[in-house]
Chain A
């Protein structure tokens, strides 16, 4: 048996790499009860050929919400839940378009492929240590708004890139991420961002 060790390892490795699929990725992302960290967002506005940059912190509790604290250039706090987006000052938001984008945003962060699969073709590349998922809309209606979405990551999601049909591009980079315990997070006041 021992004579075949090198062969075994050689065989095992690519198999393991190949076996990394969307389900595995989802399981992994789903195992994270909560996450806190920093983000850097770049929005390219094609019409004006201009880029708007913003930074801040985020705090994410699985299946519940993500609190988005923009620190510059303006200060603002947003909260996305599966059903709605609201800024903390004005709870009564019924902008359905924004809500849809918000729920899409949450699904992307959670890697909820089942939900995404209903509207996108999903394509996974790479391995467990360096993966990339490309989403292309499968309906004309959605194609009229989104060209593609790209997710890159390793242990956690690291970059989200959304190419809109009007040539605008939204790019969000996540950094300094660390896992937070849900029970701890639940105890916190809504909207509070962990300063780790």
Chain B
């Protein structure tokens, strides 16, 4: 290399410094990986953060993940009891990890009526029983006709199955109240918990995992257990509901795709490079930047995000394509110049290439989706690491001559150079036509389905189970805020009253509210008053009829003294209240108390409208339709990203014009032409544009700019064309393979990349300058 000794010295220092940085990264990574790679397969990590209303976000998260560790199995079989017993045994004996001495898979399995009796809510709610009345009992006391209550109390005293408490609760008020709370569609039958639909009886098995649903060992143990059961009982059928099944499907898919897409891209790349350069040593030099990039990106990403999302790894695998770009340009230039190779000549192109790619990624880092942000940070860091490795290290290695590659470059140049060139006039005309086509026919899609990688069959099963149980995942809810617990309960109670009135005309409508179980203080006060009334003459009648001792009356009345109010906290701490934990949000940052009221069992935009109007009538109440809300957010961000890209392009145009003057359009044609081409293809074939295909276009823009810049920088050089061809081919391999992903997000991203990069490659020869371009010289270092 013909450079000054001073320059050489500094380059050597920088190369050593980079080695030290990478060594530090290696040490940091080893320390971070001491307990294995902290991966994350959560689907929710892909979901956007809602910056405008963090409380809605918190509420939605809590509603959807409240039952994370639980799952439900619905079993159908001609020999139901036998099959259910068999399945329960298998689940109870299932182990995580080693089948013989691994830890148990489940904390708890409820499948017999007795299992549910184990959590007795009576004890924790014992002191509040005098303030909790069911509407029916309230009505009976108010009407003055308490004969029915006395009869029921008598029966409890004399039935062999009764559990009378003549002093604490002679009328069994708490039992009646609790029974109403348990009202779900589960019925005990033949020693099993069952649900019936269309005359068919299914057994229910409800499990609670000992670990979390993202525990890969737990997923494997559960999947294997169910598979073994199905293999041995082909006549039984199972429906599954629970996050663990979705997490298992997601993890399985991500793992499969990392292997097929990541390894597929690497394998294809190695094959191409070996064919072109025919030297394992050159191949090693090509892969060195890749290693440098990964070593740089992994520890820093883990430092910023704590855990690595599996999707980041899948996407990171695609980074292989771009990281190798720089090495390709360097190597192809070496092929052309041999010993006369100088990094200085390539540097401006390399810098512009890096800057444009980083811009594309950084735009992605601005999206509010944590999952995508992590991918972008990972990719940007990886690129920077790869770039630095190429620039600082690769020129220092001596390499054998590459006559074969040089011949190949000439051959490619000869066969792919078109006779004619595009003229700006044709370009403007064609561009105008395509813009019109896109503007008039392109559709968009912001559906939440894009984010949901679960197989449709599994989603259907989940819905079937939810329907059988009459439960809901909390898609639509009221977010209610008030200054105190009691004010909050009063507000919840008011909304509940309106919904109760609506229910009379629409029995599908139902709701879950804290106020149903923790009445406002005014109600609790009135109910205690009613109980005092009941403990008057009706109690005296009961005691006389049953022949109980006289002092029963006084002792029962004494227990009404100092009856405490039931508070939200005590309710939530009770076994039954545990089921409503998901509704409680607690103190907000503004000092308010907040809770959700979940609407179930009704659909239709008509109802949406009514619910929204109801929310408007009450202060501190917001109605949220989560699915709608989220697709609205997705749509907003799709527009935002489009805006950012437009801004990035607008920022690049002056730079390009400054450097390439009249030939700036040649730099911009491949990237912008490709983006427009992809949009037109989508428009013509009726594929709607979504936020993920748009992100794919961002990458097309970055790689297209690389290609445009190098074409114009080194206009008439076959080696540059070889480098561009190899780089688009490798990127198509890396990103295009994503279009085979079963995750909708990655699929659309890959589809945009595959078509976009192909168009980039096709456009480059047409926009190539016919002679060396007059470039404004950047003053090189010395």
- Show the binding face of A for B, using Cβ within 8 Å: 41, 43, 45, 47-48, 50, 52, 54, 68, 70, 73-74, 76, 78, 80, 82-85, 87, 94-103, 105, 115, 118-119, 139, 141-142, 144-145, 164, 170, 172
Contacts of B443 in A (CB 8 A): none
Give me the 4 closest cross-chain CB pairs, A-B, nearest first.
A141-B118, A101-B161, A102-B161, A54-B158
Say how far A46's CB is from chain B's closest CB, in angstroms.
10
Known: A82-B190, A94-B183, A105-B161. A139 touches B118 (CB 8 A): yes
Contacts of A68 in B (CB 8 A): 159-160
Inter-subunit contact B175/A97 (CB<8 Å): yes
Of listed B175, B187, B191, residue having the most chain A CB within 10 A: B191
Question: Which B166-206 residues have C-beta < 8 A from chain A?
Answer: 166-168, 175-176, 179, 182-183, 187-191
Answer whether residue B163 sits at the interface, using C-beta atoms and an 8 A cutoff: yes
- Complex CA gap A164/B163 in Å reads 9
Chain B residue with Cβ nearest A140: B118
Contacts of B154 in A (CB 8 A): 74, 76
- Complex CA gap A83/B193 in Å reads 10
Inter-subunit contact A100/B114 (CB<8 Å): yes
Choose from A95, A139, A172 the contact partner of B175 (Cβ within 8 Å).
A95
Inter-subunit contact B547/A41 (CB<8 Å): no
Inter-subunit contact A82/B191 (CB<8 Å): yes
- Complex CA gap A21/B189 in Å reads 29
Inter-subunit contact B160/A99 (CB<8 Å): no
Answer whether residue B157 sits at the interface, using C-beta atoms and an 8 A cutoff: yes
Contacts of B191 in A (CB 8 A): 82, 103, 115
Contacts of A78 in B (CB 8 A): 155, 159, 161
Contacts of A84 in B (CB 8 A): 188
Chain B residue with Cβ nearest A63: B190
- Complex CA gap A172/B179 in Å reads 27
- Complex CA gap A41/B167 in Å reads 21
Known: A70-B158, A95-B179, A139-B118. A83 touches B187 (CB 8 A): yes
Choose from B113, B119, B168 the contact partner of A100 (Cβ within 8 Å).
B113
Say how far A109's CB is from chain B's closest CB, in angstroms.
10
Please name 20 pairs of A and B residues whose Cβ atoms are closer than 8 Å in the assembled complex, sorted by A. A43-B164, A48-B551, A52-B157, A68-B159, A68-B160, A80-B161, A85-B161, A95-B175, A95-B176, A95-B179, A97-B117, A98-B159, A99-B113, A105-B161, A118-B112, A118-B114, A142-B117, A144-B120, A144-B123, A164-B163
Inter-subunit contact A47/B160 (CB<8 Å): no
Inter-subunit contact A52/B120 (CB<8 Å): no
Contacts of A96 in B (CB 8 A): 113, 116-117, 179, 182, 188
Choose from B164, B182, B190 the contact partner of A45 (Cβ within 8 Å).
B164
Contacts of A95 in B (CB 8 A): 175-176, 179
Say how far A92's CB is from chain B's closest CB, in angstroms.
11
Contact with A along B265-295 (1 / 0, CB 8 A): 0000000000000000000000000000000
Say how far A193's CB is from chain B's closest CB, in angstroms.
15
Inter-subunit contact A41/B158 (CB<8 Å): yes
Known: A76-B154, A97-B117. A83 touches B161 (CB 8 A): no
- Show the binding face of B for A, using Cβ within 8 Å: 112-114, 116-120, 123, 154-168, 175-176, 179, 182-183, 187-191, 545-549, 551-552
Total A-B Cβ pairs within 8 A: 108
From DSSP, what is the main secondary structure of chain A's interface residues?
mixed
Contacts of A87 in B (CB 8 A): 155
Inter-subunit contact A97/B166 (CB<8 Å): no
Contacts of A170 in B (CB 8 A): 160
Contacts of B155 in A (CB 8 A): 76, 78, 87
Say how far A115's CB is from chain B's closest CB, in angstroms.
6
Inter-subunit contact A98/B116 (CB<8 Å): no
Inter-subunit contact A73/B164 (CB<8 Å): no
- Complex CA gap A54/B387 in Å reads 92
- Complex CA gap A156/B158 in Å reads 23
Contacts of B176 in A (CB 8 A): 95
Contacts of B168 in A (CB 8 A): 47
Inter-subunit contact B160/A48 (CB<8 Å): no
Inter-subunit contact B113/A101 (CB<8 Å): no
- Given A47-B168, A141-B117, A170-B160, 16 new contacts (CB under 8 A): A74-B545, A76-B154, A78-B159, A82-B190, A83-B188, A85-B159, A95-B176, A96-B179, A101-B162, A102-B161, A103-B188, A105-B160, A105-B161, A141-B120, A142-B118, A144-B120
Say how far A16's CB is from chain B's closest CB, in angstroms.
33
Say how far A99's CB is from chain B's closest CB, in angstroms.
7
- Complex CA gap A172/B161 in Å reads 11
- Complex CA gap A93/B767 in Å reads 83
Contacts of A82 in B (CB 8 A): 189-191
- Complex CA gap A155/B324 in Å reads 89
Choose from A76, A99, A144 the contact partner of B188 (Cβ within 8 Å).
A99
Inter-subunit contact A45/B166 (CB<8 Å): yes
Say how far A63's CB is from chain B's closest CB, in angstroms.
10
Inter-subunit contact A50/B158 (CB<8 Å): no
- Complex CA gap A136/B619 in Å reads 57
Inter-subunit contact A73/B159 (CB<8 Å): no
- Complex CA gap A97/B112 in Å reads 14
Chain A residue with Cβ nearest B158: A54
Chain B residue with Cβ nearest A72: B158
Inter-subunit contact B183/A100 (CB<8 Å): no
- Complex CA gap A143/B188 in Å reads 22
Say how far B552's CB is from chain A's closest CB, in angstroms.
6
Contacts of A48 in B (CB 8 A): 166-167, 548-549, 551-552
Contacts of B119 in A (CB 8 A): 141
